[in-house]
Structure formats: structure tokens, C-alpha cells
Structure 1
Amino acid sequence: MRLAHDFAAVRPAAQHCCELTAHGAARGPRPEERAALMTAWRRDLARLLAEDLSPLLSGDRLEVNLPEPETLSGHAVLERIGPVAANALLRCGVARETALVAFDFATAIALTDRSFGGDGKRAEPAPHQLPRSSALLVDEIAAIIALGITRASLGDAVLPAGAEPASEVIIRSDSAARLKPFAADAEVLLFPIAIANREGAEWHCLLAIAADRMERLLPVPGRTGALPARREPRQPASPLAAPFAGVPLPLHVVLAEVDLSLARLQALAPGDRLPLAMGRQVPLLLGDKPIAHGSIGTLEDRMAIRLTRFPAEGLAR
């Protein structure tokens, strides 16, 4: 019995092009699918930010607008942000992609004012250096944006066991270029974020994400696992609570003031004496604002002030 047989092909074997073989698995969504995913991502991020930023801004009912992004080079994005701003480099999503969020100083101070119950209106000109309280608030907002990006990237999905999505502020700097968020010639998506409350205050910031990283941050249909936990709702900011309570404030006491003419001032020489009239009550100042008055005395062989009176409006204003 002959068991060996010669087999001949009935027809030629199929020959697939490299686009279907080598690169087929890497092919992303079609343009119309990507546009739908981007729209869903922007809608979800805007909703999450409106919810999560509200406790930080005195419980305001917020509306967040996240329009279509501009596509610019990395160099053009850094020029748009400017040489000095409150910038934070974020790490987001399952793929731990980086993103850049930037606030101009005037906006950062206005948001700080609103977090303490003020009207949140911008004041010009902006300072050359950001107060520490505003820097802390920007870090809080940046962390909320990082978590919002991660949650929007996951959509309604849950993660596989062991997957750890990121949502954190890596580093903050007044110089966006120093953070090196993307190459100068990279294609970058620039999202202008507008945050508004019901009292007419509006604040703007910029979110910049390299185009190739944005592709990995878009929600993937059918993904399964668990969403990262939302941030615990926080109470409105208080100067007596962390982290603001630890900000050092330089105070000074004015013991006496004297008026001199310009001629007398120019004639002063070593050994001259100026009579000082010290009042019974001297002011304790924070900058140029008197926050209390008191009487001068001693405490354990050191000069001291006993506080006797506070302004009627208190320390809150």
C-alpha cells in the first residue's frame, strides 16, 4: 500500500499587501471614528472638570468649555504660552502620557481670590512672581485636570487587573520650555479651556498634548477594568487650613514715623539725633495693611507688642 501522495495546489496562495499584514494591527480608527472619539473625550473632560473644580472654587456651579484644539508646532505652543506662566507637567492615562497645562499669573491669582470667597475677577497688571498661595492652588487644579484626562480617556470602561492609570502632577515651573513637554518641531494639539461661574467670572487656561500622545489618550471602545477613584470632594479653601495655613507672612510693627524736609534729609550726618514720638498704640502691618494694633512692652528681656485691637473688618478681607 502506497501511503505517500503528491499534492498540487488547486489555486495560487493569496498574497496580502504589507498594509494588511505588517501594519494592519497598528492601524488606528478611521478619521470619522477618531473625530467621534475626540468629541466624546472633550465632552467628558469638560463635564468632569465642571464637577471636580466646583468645591475648589467656593462651591460655584461651573460651566467648562473645551472647544476643538488647534494643531501647532511645539515651538508655536511655547510662544503662545509665553516665557512666564504657571505651568504644570502632567502624567495621565493607562499609557502614562504627559500633557502640559498653563495658567497666566493674572488668572492664577483670580482663581485664588475666588477660592477664598472673592469675586475671582482678574486684576491687572499681574505680578512678576506668583504668590505661594496661588502656586499651591494651581497645583490643585492641575491635579484635578490630570485625573479628568485619565477618566475621560477611559470613558465608561474598566481596566484589566494590574493596570495602573496615572493622574499626577510631575513638576511645575514658571517656564514651559524648561519642562520640555514636547519637541519644538512636534505636532501638538492646543486646547483652550474656559471655566465660568454663574456670577459672570471666567477663567482661561491652555492644555497642550503632543498629537501622537493624544492618540493613546482617546477612549478605546470595549476596554474593561476599573476606573480610577475620583478625588475626594474638598471644602472651600480656608486660610486656616492646609496647605495655605503654612504659608509664611512677613509682619512688621511701625514704632514711630517722622517727617523731614528734603533739605533736612540731605543735611543728615552721623551723630545727628531725630526726636521720635511713640504713640500708645502702634500698628501691626501685613504689607501696607494694618491687621491689628497694640502697645509696646517687654517679654523676657525682649521688646514685645501686646495686641489690643483688631480692625472691624477682621483678617478675612
Structure 2
Amino acid sequence: MNATSDTAPVKAKHATELLGKAPSIDELVPALSFLSERLVRILPGELARISGGDPPVVRAGMPMDTTLGGIQSELETLAAHALLGAGPKNLPLLATFEAAPVFRLVDRAFGGNGVVPDPLPDRFPVSAELLLARIEGAIAATLSQLFSHETATLVRPLRRDTSLRQLDPFDMRADLLQLSLDIEEAGAEPWTLSLAFPVTTLGPLLLPQRKAPRLRTAPRKAGPTEEPFASLMLELTAVLVDMPMPMRRLSALRPGDVIPVPVSRAVPLMAGGQIIATGTVGELDDMVAVQVGQAF
């Protein structure tokens, strides 16, 4: 039987290329173990809202690496699989409930002693689906509180199915870390649920983001129109005459002598002893001017 939460179905597949290089299992086991210590303190209060009784005792086992195929091989009877999404990208994680504990909880909710149908049916009744939805909400609320310490991440239920193949939460060969939770309530038989996290989900949620090293780039050189050069004052010289004269003639110069001056058609403009342009002599606003004809 398929059951869907109020949230519209979302395909939750995440390629490693999009999420960056996945961290190793060895890196994630300590981080998930630390998270489980906080989880067993918060989850009882959320579950107590469902039963209306005292908070149960929740114990977490050591994280175990597995795959979806490994989870499927351990199930011998009916089970419910709930896909949850973390954060705006709906990073996927999986909650699995075996049928017997669910039917036991449903019977107790209706005043029974926790009787399990024998044989187990091949689908969950509506009463069980409603209870599963409430447990999923408790798990999502708990994980939201835990992940908010790291990334202010909201976890929400997405969809549920009794078939892992139909649910298709992530690649069957994806590396997972599975956390088993044993839940003990007064006067009732203990029950178990499991949470499975792909390493590509746990990495962004539990470990500091790995940023690619920034490549050093050579500083850009400022151009002549940019500071600090733009306002720098330079002396500009227009060479109107550049003519050789023998020493004998130069020593014989007297006031009133006239020297013929051959003005070049291309007057050089110089800055710092270097020719930067050439032009022709003319007049502008009753002043001698040089019109630039070529710049270097």
C-alpha cells in the first residue's frame, strides 16, 4: 500500500557531482554516533506526544554501513519505508518500520494489549498508516532539531511505501550508514525502527563544507587612466627646433642676428626624455598649439 504525506512527491536522487566528493565512512561514523547521543535524548519527548504517556526509553546502536539491498535482505515480513528530505535540496534519508511493532502500537492505541495479527497481513490498514505518519513526524521534528545545530536544516516526510523498489529513495548501491533505535515503553514490548543515511546526505549535514582552494591570480596592473597614475603630473615638451650649429657660428652670435629656423612638419612631443607623439604647429585661441598627428 502506498501512502503519501501532504507534501507533493519529490524525486530525491542526488548525484555525487552535485553534492561534492562524498566523505568516507570512517569520517562519518563518529559524527553520526555523536548525533545519536543527542537523538536518544530528544526523540522520547516527541514520541510521548503521540502516546500521551510517559516518554519511552530510546537506545541507539552503533552506526553500521549497509546498502538498500542489505536493508531489504534483513526484512522477512511486511515493513513500511518512509523517505524523508533534509533541507531545501531534500537530501534523502530513510526510516524503516517492521510490521509487528506497528500493529502492536495500533492495538495499544485502541485499548488493546498490543496483539499482533497472525498471520501478518500484506498491507497496512488506515489506522496503521495514520500512526506511521505521526511517528514519521516525530522523527522529522527530532532530526530538524539536531541538524539545526549545524545548518538550520528542516527535515520533512516526503512519501512512504511498503516496497523499497517502488519508493526508490536513492541508488540501490549507495553507501549508507544505518542507525537502529530500540524503544522501550512501560508495560509494553520493546520495538525497533531504523534510520539509514546516504553518506552524501550526512556529509553536508554533519561535516564542515569542503571548499575548493582559491587559486591565486596575478594582480591586475593599473592603466595610465587609473590611479595612482591618472593624477600624476608630467612635464610635456614640444620640440619645435632641433638643428645643428657649428661652435664657430654659435660663439659669434650677437643681439640682432637672424637665424633661419627650419620648422619640422612633424613636431615631436616628449615626456621624460621619450617621444610619445608627433604633431604640427598651429594656433588655438590666439595661442601657439600643436595638433597631434600620431601617438606611440
What interval of TM-score do these two structures reach, taking the shorter chain for normalisation?
Answer: 0.5 to 0.7
Q: In the alignment, is residue 67 of structure 1 matched against residue 55 of structure 2? A: no
Give 1:44's aligned residue: 38
CA separation of 1:158 and 1:117: change in aligned 2, threshold 3 A: farther
Distance, in Å, in 2 between the alignment partners of 1:98 and 1:218 is 14
Give 2:50's aligned residue: 56
Report the TM-score, using the length of structure 1 for normalisation: 0.53
Give 1:183's aligned residue: 171
Flag structure 2 segments of 5+ consecutive residues without an equivalent: 1-19, 210-296
Q: CA deviation at 1:36?
A: 4.2
Give 2:160's aligned residue: 172
Residue from 192, 195, 205 that aligns with 1:204: 192
SS in 2 for 1:90: strand
**1:1-317 map, 5 Å:** 34-81=28-75, 84-93=78-87, 96-120=90-114, 122-155=116-149, 159=152, 165-218=153-206
CA separation of 1:199 and 1:208: change in aligned 2, threshold 3 A: same
Is the Cα contact below 8 Å between 1:58 and 1:115 reproduced in 2? no
Is the Cα contact below 8 Å between 2:80 and 2:97 reproduced in 1? yes
Distance, in Å, in 1 between the alignment partners of 2:25 and 2:134 is 36
Distance, in Å, in 2 between the alignment partners of 1:72 and 1:31 is 13
Task: Report % sequence identity.
Answer: 25
State the number of aligned residues.
190
Report the TM-score, using the length of structure 2 for normalisation: 0.56
Is the Cα contact below 8 Å between 1:93 and 1:149 reproduced in 2? no
Distance, in Å, in 1 between the alignment partners of 2:64 and 2:138 is 23
Q: CA deviation at 1:213?
A: 1.3
Distance, in Å, in 1 between the alignment partners of 2:196 and 2:73 is 12
The C-alpha deviation readout for 1:266-314, integer Å capped at 9, x for no partner, is xxxxxxxxxxxxxxxxxxxxxxxxxxxxxxxxxxxxxxxxxxxxxxxxx
Computed over aligned residues only, the root mean square deviation of the Cα atoms, in angstroms, reads: 2.9
The C-alpha deviation readout for 1:213-233, integer Å capped at 9, x for no partner, is 122232769xxxxxxxxxxxx
The one-letter code sitting in structure 2 at the alignment partner of 1:75 is G
The one-letter code sitting in structure 2 at the alignment partner of 1:174 is T
Is the Cα contact below 8 Å between 2:103 and 2:115 reproduced in 1? no
Flag structure 1 segments of 5+ consecutive residues without an equivalent: 1-24, 160-164, 222-317
